[in-house]
Amino acid sequence: MLDGFFKSNNIAIIGVSREENKIGRVIFESLLSKFNGNIYPINPNAEEILGYRCYPSIKAIKEKIDLAVIAVPANIIIISINDCIKKKVKNIIIVSAGFKETGNSKLEKRLKELLLKHKINAIGPNCLGIFDASTGLDTLFLPVSRLKRPKRGNISFICQSGAIGSAMLDLIAGENIGISKFISYGNATVIDESDIIEYLANDKSTDVICAYIEGVNNGKKFFSTLKKTAAKKPLIIIKAGITKEGHKATLSHTGSLAGSSEVYNAVFKQNKVIKADSLQEIIDYAKIFANIKKIHGNKVQIITNGGGFGIISTDSIINNNLKLACLSKKTTALLKKSLPKTVIISNPIDLTGDADNPRYKLALSSCLKDKNVDVIFLIILFQTPLVDENIVQDILSLKNKKPIVVVSAGDFFTRAIKQALEENNIPTYAFPENAASSIRKLLEYKGKK
Amino acid sequence: MLDGFFKSNNIAIIGVSREENKIGRVIFESLLSKFNGNIYPINPNAEEILGYRCYPSIKAIKEKIDLAVIAVPANIIIISINDCIKKKVKNIIIVSAGFKETGNSKLEKRLKELLLKHKINAIGPNCLGIFDASTGLDTLFLPVSRLKRPKRGNISFICQSGAIGSAMLDLIAGENIGISKFISYGNATVIDESDIIEYLANDKSTDVICAYIEGVNNGKKFFSTLKKTAAKKPLIIIKAGITKEGHKATLSHTGSLAGSSEVYNAVFKQNKVIKADSLQEIIDYAKIFANIKKIHGNKVQIITNGGGFGIISTDSIINNNLKLACLSKKTTALLKKSLPKTVIISNPIDLTGDADNPRYKLALSSCLKDKNVDVIFLIILFQTPLVDENIVQDILSLKNKKPIVVVSAGDFFTRAIKQALEENNIPTYAFPENAASSIRKLLEYKGKK
């Protein structure tokens, strides 16, 4: 149902203004800048825009159109849809707002009937549409100066709310986390969350699915989709509108029916859906699932250059029902022999504040080889000057099949190194609590606890 | 007991190396760059360093020394202390490590006896010392390129762990939050957490005290200090080593005695201490307490330009036992008359994705005037281009005695505006959950719930 969207080569944009910053115009410019296929701007009042021939209607285009993006005001949407029907366009993204979410249920109903009657696959209305990091297909009508686009990756994100989606993409791009596909589906008039999740479940470039859901129209379909999907790949969901008051607020937003949080919780649990309780948790969980495919058990070895961070990490690990690894005698003896006396060889291993890259590399390589260790909890505080950005290469040179999770808190210097680690598929966290709860979620999903 | 430290004019640094990047040398350069008093470098093997006359011993200085900072190896520390005694120095910061935290309890005991016998106020050993944003007194021996120093503010932070302290300062500086005094006190051999908290309780430039505590030596003294302090000003504490395993890790760090988390929790609760369960919570809570002095009740009005953020904010507000404000008929009528039809006038007020600065200003000013509103929960998503950085001035022009808390998630563009808001004493959060729990903590402290 969604394959046609992402494989589109010929895209028409209905409602490309001669004025800058208007929605259709922003989408047109965005596609021009990075999309390899053909783009056809539609505007009955312009002969050309930015040097491109403008069409008075989609019907005036000779070539077959794979996808129409509609950005005209709600009151003339039906005309545009009828034109698409005549042109035999099967895939439409309607970004326009002004339907059931503003009380205009009559228009929404009419739109829905028309789309269903002609078997048109439509995303929206009242949405941002789609973003595909690998093809440059991008209907998000928000400027890159405000909404940085993430690099290519293996996480796909579906989001009923455009605002949540755009803020999350911006944050994700800032952390240098990769995205495969992003879909903002708004009112879900034809294509709904279940259709999108099902599509992503079968999408080879998606390893992890994240979803922000306000409510679902068809509970039975949704729950059966969850069951099928979560068996295939990790599915992380935040359900908004879990309180009575929050539920009420969903009605005036995307106008969807919410359900009791108990029902959702039970269904999520039954079906191995990974429940996120906050937007932060979505990001935390997504990056560990995207980067760590295998984890053998819950024995965590902490390596740190700051004792205090080691202690709160220990607390976090225990509070998340993980275990502290117990290094073998061989590893302990080797480390005691090779490292300065001030270093504490235990769990945590405290390399102390004067730790440099070689000291980290030695401790890390020894722990990776130790059979008693399942996961490395690698705390690196870059406030101390003897450890530097070359540690990224040191870590990569050692990376084996055991998971490494990095915890590092700080401003610019730290952030740049964390971005380099994320670039190389090592999940990074600012605080131990977030890292430990993410490891727990991964183990729970893998059935290792 | 600590006043002498912060009012020092003549500071001697014992152990200033001719080599760059050594601890004493870094402290010397740091003070040279921004401290207004006199600085005396001590090194028996150098006549001058960086063009400054070097002294063979502190005894060779003619002027009275207010504070000695000792950065020599642990094995010669006693010599330095004896020199300070002869010079009648009353305040000493010992940054050197290698005492009870590395098993050298004998040396620690000897050091302690010597300091106590001569009634010397000493911070450390095994610490970063102190940072005072208003005087430039800064013994943190970590470079600014790695550890950005925060601007001047009204939050003071005491931290048993140097690593936690430096990572937190760096993060805090990145968010543009202000700091009054920072004290890393390490092994607490003479001056302990209670002495520091008591000093800050009476310090006029400190409005909020944050503390990272691993354990306390004198429980009775600590608990009586908490009682006195929390009655005067907000005291936010994270207690590390709350699990059995975490407690064990504290022993090899600062070697302090921990206590059961139940005891701490009970005492914190009894004494109005604000308990933080994570490092993120310390930052979250500190900024609301630092910036909001008065709050009349728990009726929160949400204003947003993204429906989804409105919904999860509603959930967060309800989950934190806050109430959604109910706008007066007058406010509702005024807003309905003045704002576009697509805007939803309720709680949340959804200004929708095309909201611009004037729309925000109108909604905000009307809600501030409404008697039914105690707190404004102002969500601004800067991914949409019609709202821009001038909104900072719009918000400031309206700021009255009602608290405004801003929620805004995103990368560069967003971060810069949040820094400008923090500059003007408006607390900002990335996610609704953090903002709502901070408002709850503030209300609980003020006894308004």
Question: pLDDT tens-digit profile of A34-67?
Answer: 999 999 999 999 999 999 999 999 999 999 999 9
Q: Which CATH number do you get for residue B50?
A: 3.40.50.720
DSSP string covering B409-435: --SHHHHHHHHHHHHTT--EESSHHHH
Alpha-carbon gap, residue B107 to A359, rounded angstroms: 27
**Which residues does chain A have within 8 Å of residue B74's beta carbon, measured at their own beta carbons?**
none
Same domain, residue pair B185 and B286 = yes
CB contact under 8 A, B142 and A431: no
* pLDDT tens, residue by residue, A279-323: 999 999 999 999 999 999 999 999 999 999 999 999 999 999 999
Alpha-carbon gap, residue B209 to A329, rounded angstroms: 44
User: What is the interface pTM, i.e. ipTM, of the complex?
Assistant: 0.94
Query: Using CB atoms, which residue from A148, A174, A214 is nearest to B308?
Result: A214
Same domain, residue pair A147 and A263 = yes
Task: Look at residue A344 and give its three-state secondary structure.
Answer: strand
Q: Which of A125, A155, A171 is the last residue of a domain?
A: A125
Q: Which residue in the block uniquely carries the two structure tokens 């971060």?
A: B415
Would you state the pLDDT for residue A259? 62
Would you state the pLDDT for residue A449? 63
- Cα-Cα end-to-end distance for chain B: 37
Would you state the pLDDT for residue B20? 87
B163/A contact by beta carbon, under 8 A: yes
Evaluate if residue B191 carries a pLDDT over 70: yes
Q: How many CB atoms lie within 10 A of CB A63?
A: 10
Q: Is residue A130 part of a domain?
A: no
Closest residue in chain A to residue B252, using alpha carbons only: A344
Mean pLDDT of all residues belonging to chain A: 94
CB contact under 8 A, A317 and B245: yes
CA dihedral B28, B33, B39, B41 (to 10 degrees): 30
CB contact under 8 A, A170 and B280: no
Alpha-carbon gap, residue A422 to A286, rounded angstroms: 12
CA distance B27 to chain A (A): 14
CA distance A40 to chain B (A): 25
B158 and B211 in contact (C-beta within 8 Å)? Answer: yes
Q: Which residue in the block uniquely carries the two structure tokens 């291993």?
A: A349
Q: Is residue A134 part of a domain?
A: no
CB contact under 8 A, A312 and B159: no
Q: Which of A250, A275, A291 is the last residue of a domain?
A: A291
Same domain, residue pair A204 and A307 = no
CA distance B137 to chain A (A): 19
Same domain, residue pair A287 and A181 = yes
The pairing of strands B38-42 and B91-94 is unpaired
Q: Is residue A132 part of a domain?
A: no
Evaluate if residue A258 carries a pLDDT over 60: no
Q: Which of B258, B291, B324 is the last residue of a domain?
A: B291
Q: Is residue B132 part of a domain?
A: no
Q: What is the mean pLDDT of residues A370-378?
A: 98
Would you state the pLDDT for residue B339? 96
The pairing of strands B404-407 and B428-429 is parallel
Closest residue in chain B to residue A171, using alpha carbons only: B410
Residue B24, both tokens: 């004493």
CB contact under 8 A, B413 and A146: yes
Per DSSP, B7 falls in state T
**Which residues does chain A have within 8 Å of residue B159's beta carbon, measured at their own beta carbons?**
308
User: For a pLDDT cut of 90, what percent of chain A falls above it?
Assistant: 87
Same domain, residue pair A355 and A387 = yes
Same domain, residue pair B111 and B181 = no
Same domain, residue pair B47 and B175 = no
**Which residues does chain A have within 8 Å of residue B158's beta carbon, measured at their own beta carbons?**
none
Mutate which of A311, A317, A386 to disrupt the B interface (most B C-beta within 10 Å)? Answer: A311
Would you state the pLDDT for residue A1? 81
A171/B contact by beta carbon, under 8 A: yes
CA distance A60 to chain B (A): 31
CB contact under 8 A, B146 and A315: no
**Looking at chain B from residue 1 to 40, which residues have their Cβ under 8 Å from any Cβ of chain A?**
21
Would you state the pLDDT for residue B258? 52
Same domain, residue pair B2 and B111 = yes
Q: Is residue B317 part of a domain?
A: yes
CB contact under 8 A, A382 and B249: no
A396/B contact by beta carbon, under 8 A: no
* pLDDT tens, residue by residue, A399-431: 777 999 999 999 999 999 999 999 999 999 999
Q: Is residue B63 part of a domain?
A: yes
Find out whether the peptide bond into B348 is cis, omega within 30 degrees of 0: yes
A187/B contact by beta carbon, under 8 A: no
A315/B contact by beta carbon, under 8 A: yes
Alpha-carbon gap, residue B415 to B438, rounded angstroms: 20
Mean pLDDT of all residues belonging to chain B: 94
Alpha-carbon gap, residue B82 to B111, rounded angstroms: 10
CA distance B59 to chain A (A): 30
User: For a pLDDT cut of 70, what percent of chain B falls above it?
Assistant: 98
Same domain, residue pair B331 and B268 = no
Q: Is residue B272 part of a domain?
A: yes
Per DSSP, B278 falls in state S
* CA nearest to A316, candidates A422, A426, A430: A430
* CA nearest to B137, candidates B36, B208, B1: B36
Same domain, residue pair B231 and B312 = no
Q: Which CATH number do you get for residue B257?
A: 3.40.50.261
CA distance A335 to chain B (A): 16
A138/B contact by beta carbon, under 8 A: no
Alpha-carbon gap, residue A226 to B96, rounded angstroms: 57
Would you state the pLDDT for residue A254? 56
Evaluate if residue B326 carries a pLDDT over 80: yes
**Which residues does chain B have within 8 Å of residue A431's beta carbon, measured at their own beta carbons?**
278-280
Domain holding A313, by residue range, is: 294-446
Would you state the pLDDT for residue A77? 96
A101/B contact by beta carbon, under 8 A: yes
- Tell me which H or E stretch contains A172: helix A162-174
Would you state the pLDDT for residue B101? 82
B35 and B69 in contact (C-beta within 8 Å)? Answer: no
Range B52-59, long-range pairs (CB < 8 A, 24+ positions): B54/B16, B55/B12, B57/B83, B58/B12, B58/B14, B58/B83, B58/B84, B58/B87, B58/B89, B59/B83, B59/B86, B59/B87
Q: How confident is the model at residue B103 (pLDDT cuts 50, 70, 90)?
A: confident
Would you state the pLDDT for residue B89? 98
Q: Is residue A131 part of a domain?
A: no
CB contact under 8 A, B317 and A245: yes
Same domain, residue pair B248 and B302 = no
Same domain, residue pair A306 and A439 = yes
* pLDDT tens, residue by residue, A353-365: 889 999 999 999 9
Q: How confident is the model at residue B263 (pLDDT cuts 50, 70, 90)?
A: confident
Evaluate if residue A257 carries a pLDDT over 60: no
Mutate which of B138, B315, B407 to disrupt the A interface (most A C-beta within 10 Å)? Answer: B315
SS (H, E, C) A75-117: HHHHHHHHHHHHCCCCEEEECCCCCHHHCCHHHHHHHHHHHHH
CB contact under 8 A, B308 and A348: no
- Cα-Cα end-to-end distance for chain A: 37
CB contact under 8 A, B308 and A161: yes
* CA nearest to B187, candidates B277, B111, B263: B111
**Which residues does chain B have within 8 Å of residue A429's beta carbon, measured at their own beta carbons?**
none
Query: Using CB atoms, which residue from B159, B279, B433 is nearest to A431?
Result: B279
CB contact under 8 A, B163 and A253: no
Instruction: Report how many domains make up chain B.
Output: 3
